[in-house]
Amino acid sequence: MNGKREAIHGECISEECLADYLEGTLDAVMRSACEVHLIACDACRGNLALFMKVLGEGKRPEEERALDELSMLWQQRNLLPIPAPRKWARSSAHLTYAAVGIVALLLLVVLIGKWRLGSAQPVPTQIVDALVTRVRPFEPRIVGQPYLTIQEVNRGPEDTARDGLEVEMTEKSAESYEMGRFFLLRKKYPKAIKYLKTAIAESKGVSADVYNDLGVAYMENGEASFAAAESEFKEVLSRNPAHAPAVFNLSILYGRQGRIEEAEQRRRQYLSLDPDSGWAKELRKKLLQKEPIEP
C-alpha cells in the first residue's frame, strides 16, 4: 500500500495501481487520489486508456482476423509455450510402462499356473492318493487311508528297481512328505524313513500326521525300529491325544511287542474314538480273539 501511495504522490501512477483502480480494489482515499491525478495527467490517463483497450472484452473484426493469422503463424512455427517434459521424464515414463507390462505378464503366468494347478491336483499327490486308496500293504494305518483288508504287495523292500512311478515322482519334484509316503506304500521303508525325517526337518510346526507315517515306517522296518516307532506315535498323541491312526498303530505295535495289556488299552481307546469303521471292526475282532492279526 505504501508503494501505491508513493506512486500516486509522485509524478505518475504505477501500472499495478492502475490495474487495481480498474478492478475496483483500491480504498476510497486511494481511488479519489488516483482520479484527481488521472484527470490532470494525460500520460497516466493514456496508460489507463491503454489498459482499458488491452483488457476490453469485445474484439473488432480486424482484430479477430489478426488473431487467427497469429494463431496460424504460431502453429506453423511450432512454438511451445509450455515447459516441455524433460527427456528423463519421458524415458522414465517409458520405463514405468515397460515395468508395468512385465509385472502384468508375470501375473498372467502365475495366474494361469495357479489355475492349472487348481484345476488338477499336483501329480505326486495324485499318485500317493491313488496308492493309499487302492492298496493296504501293511497292518498299521497311515494318515488319510480308507479301510481296506490287508493285501500283499509284490514289491518288497529288497526290490531296488526304480519303477516308472518313482521316476515320475522324482521328476515332478514331489515334496519330501509325498516321497516318504510313496516309498512307505511301496514298502521301501529305509527310503520312506529318510524322506519323512527330511519332511519333519524341512518345516517348522509340521503336522502330527507326518510323525504318524514315520512311526508306521519304523514299525514296518523291523523289530529294531519298534522303539523309534513308539516314540513317534507318542509324539503324535502329545500333539493330538485323539489322533485315531496313532492310537490304532500303538495298539498294533504293543501287540507285536507282546505288551498285551497296553495293546488292549489302546484298542479300547481307539474304539471309543472310532467305534464303527472297518478299522474298529478289525480291532474289535482282535479283542475277542485276544491275538494279533498278522499281515
Partner 1 sequence: MTETLRFRRDEAGGTLSSADLLRECGRRLTDSFLWKEFQNRFHKTIMTFVMRVMWNRFRSDCLEEACDLVQDVYLRMLDNNGRVLRSFKGEAEFSVKAFLARVVLNVVSDHYRTIQAGKRRPAEIISIEQARQQGRDLSGEATDLDIRSILSWIDVERLMESDSDRRNAARNVLIFKLHHVDGFSVQEIAAFPGFGLKESSIHLVLQTMRENLKKRMGK
Nearer to partner 1, 38 or 208 (CB): 38
Dihedral pair phi/psi, residue 30, rounded to 5° = -65, -40
Residue 28 C-beta: closest distance to partner 1, Å = 9
- Does 69 bind partner 1 (CB under 8 A)? Our answer is yes
Sketch the per residue contact string, 46 through 65, with partner 1: x for CB under 8 A, - otherwise: x-xxxxxxxxxxxx---x--
Q: Which of 29, 73, 111, 242 binds partner 1 (CB under 8 A)?
A: 73
Site residues (CB under 8 A) for partner 1, limited to 86-145: 86, 89
* Cβ 7 to partner 1 shortest distance, Å: 13
Using rule CB under 8 A, residue 23 touches partner 1: yes
DSSP string, 65-77: HHHHHHHHHHHHT
Q: Give the cell for residue 58.
A: 469485445
Phi, psi of 71 (to 5 degrees): -60, -45
Nearest to partner 1 of 46, 278 (CB atom): 46
Interaction between residue 84 and partner 1 (CB under 8 A): yes
Stretch of 79-87, 121-129, 190-198, 252-260 lying at the interface with partner 1 (CB under 8 A): 79-87
**Helix and strand element counts for the chain (H, E):** 15, 0
Would you count residue 35 as binding partner 1 (CB under 8 A)?
yes
Q: What is the DSSP letter of 135?
A: -
Closest CA to 159 of 129, 137, 176, 139: 137
CB 112, min distance to partner 1, A: 25
Q: How far apart are CA 209 and CA 240, in angstroms?
A: 10
What separation in angstroms does the CA of 112 have from each of 100, 101, 172, 209? 18, 16, 18, 31
Determine contact, residues 153/187, Cβ cutoff 8 Å.
Answer: yes
> Which residues here bind partner 1, judged by CB under 8 A?
15-16, 19-26, 31-32, 35-36, 38-40, 42, 45-46, 48-59, 63, 66-67, 69-71, 73-74, 77, 79, 81-86, 89
